[in-house]
């Protein structure tokens, strides 16, 4: 901030001239207030100059000098007020001069989009809801008991090798490697009959670039009296047709899972070539989508169900894969890159 002139060196009239010039030239309200503070008011340069002149004047002239000084201070106040008003007028004039075309259409917000995996999950939930399946969920951080042991995979069971597990340090907790532990939680919480589907996020340590360490599965479980393998196949066939269209067929191939007996691999007729053979199905006409089987009595033992009275089936498959097949997405990585060009295609 420039220093105010030394009051004693200048006479009051010259000081008032300078102050008025500076007030009139101030371009902003803040600059104006600074100039005013420097010259005007009880602390300002003019007041100090007037006081000095009074002190220096002979006794009989002090009163006259004081009156001249007061008049000078009032002029400064007047000049300040006037400039303040004119700055306000200038701002208003500028605002009014700004042209606004009120006929232009407004800017619309672009709506968000559901992820294709969410679309697929909801479609799956809807189809099973129509068959009377209710929704069940479980935690993503699981215990060894729910994820492995109660599913007939005791410590050192070779099947644990198939599922590269993320363990939480210094505990028996882990990130669930499949949605099957929700079967256990459901059966521990309720008596038969049971009819649930359990969609959810699962985790596996995969270093293959075409696999994601986090992906989605849906588990199905039905337990009642006299449930058969034919019921399992009927439910899977109904689902496949509702999800992919009436021409779809299902194939169950003998396989092994520790928690089902018998166990099966669940294949769909290729949704791209309808079984004729193409790149996606590697010319086999079939696409592998999940596992299924009849609940092993060993699992029932862990949840205290009577395996003489009850039987049940279970199945599990990947939601990501279902979404890719349904929406013809060729690379799983596209699902996890958050690219708007992909997401915007799924309103
Ligand atoms: N949990 C198995 C996996 O993630 C899939 C599975 C197979 C689930 C057979 C089942 C089943 O319910 O009966 O590889």
Closest CA to 118 of 200, 8, 229: 200
d(CA 197, ligand 1 centre) in Å: 13
Q: Which atom of ligand 1 is nearest to the CA of 179?
A: 1
Question: Does residue 4 or residue 211 have the better pLDDT?
Answer: 211
Q: Is the per-residue pLDDT at 343 higher than 90?
A: no
Dump pLDDT digits (tens) for 277-329.
Answer: 888 888 999 999 999 999 999 999 999 999 999 999 999 999 999 999 999 88
Q: Is 180 in the pocket of ligand 1 (CB under 6 A)?
A: yes
d(CA 93, ligand 1 centre) in Å: 74
Give dist(CA 322, CA 190) in Å, integer: 30
Q: Is 257 in the pocket of ligand 1 (CB under 6 A)?
A: yes
Q: Is the per-residue pLDDT at 10 higher than 60?
A: no
Q: Is the per-residue pLDDT at 2 higher than 60?
A: no
d(CA 336, ligand 1 centre) in Å: 23
Q: Is 186 in the pocket of ligand 1 (CB under 6 A)?
A: no
d(CA 265, ligand 1 centre) in Å: 9
Neighbours of 333 (CB within 10 A): 13
Q: What is the mean pLDDT of the chain?
A: 90
| Percentage of the chain lying above the pLDDT 90 cut | 55
What DSSP assignment string belongs to 211-252? S-SEEEEEEEEEEETT--HHHHHHHHHHHHHHHH-TT--EEE
Dump pLDDT digits (tens) for 289-298.
Answer: 999 999 999 9
Q: Is 293 in the pocket of ligand 1 (CB under 6 A)?
A: yes
Averaged pLDDT for residues 203-214: 80
- Dig out the tokens for 277 from the structure: 């053979």
Dump pLDDT digits (tens) for 128-176.
Answer: 999 999 999 999 999 999 999 999 999 888 877 766 899 998 888 999 9
d(CA 279, ligand 1 centre) in Å: 26
- Quote the Cα angle for 290-291-292, to 5°: 135
Q: Determine contact, residues 125/70, Cβ cutoff 8 Å.
A: no
């Amino acid at each position: 901030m420039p220093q105010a002139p030394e009051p004693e060196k200048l006479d009051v009239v010259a000081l008032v001239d300078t102050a008025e010039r500076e007030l009139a030239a101030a371009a902003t309200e803040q600059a104006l207030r600074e100039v005013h503070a420097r010259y005007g008011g009880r602390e300002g340069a003019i007041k100090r100059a007037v006081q000095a002149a009074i002190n220096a004047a002979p006794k009989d002239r002090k009163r006259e000098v004081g009156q001249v000084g007061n008049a000078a201070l009032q002029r400064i106040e007047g000049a300040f007020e006037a400039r303040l008003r004119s700055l306000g007028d200038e701002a208003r004039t500028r605002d009014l001069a700004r042209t606004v075309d009120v006929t232009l259409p407004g800017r619309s917000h672009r709506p968000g989009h559901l992820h294709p995996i969410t679309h697929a999950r909801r479609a799956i939930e809807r189809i099973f809801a129509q068959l009377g399946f209710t929704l069940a969920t479980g935690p993503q951080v699981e215990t060894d008991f729910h994820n492995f042991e109660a599913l007939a995979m005791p410590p050192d069971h070779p099947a644990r090798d198939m599922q590269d597990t993320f363990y939480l340090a210094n505990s028996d907790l882990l990130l669930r490697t499949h949605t099957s532990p929700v079967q256990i939680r459901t059966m521990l919480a309720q008596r038969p009959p049971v009819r649930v589907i359990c969609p959810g996020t699962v985790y596996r340590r995969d270093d293959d670039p075409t696999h994601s360490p986090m992906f989605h599965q849906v588990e199905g479980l039905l337990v009642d009296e006299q449930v058969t393998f034919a019921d399992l196949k009927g439910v899977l066939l109904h689902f496949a047709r509702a999800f992919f269209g009436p021409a779809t067929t299902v194939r169950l191939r003998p396989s092994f899972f520790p928690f089902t007996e018998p166990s099966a691999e669940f294949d769909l007729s290729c949704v791209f070539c309808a079984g004729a053979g193409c790149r996606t199905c590697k010319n086999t006409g079939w696409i592998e989508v999940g596992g299924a089987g009849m609940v092993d009595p060993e699992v029932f033992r862990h949840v205290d169900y009577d395996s003489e009275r009850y039987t049940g089936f279970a199945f599990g498959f990947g939601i990501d894969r279902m979404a890719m097949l349904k929406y013809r997405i060729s690379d799983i990585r596209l699902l996890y890159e958050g690219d708007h060009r992909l997401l915007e295609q799924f309103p």
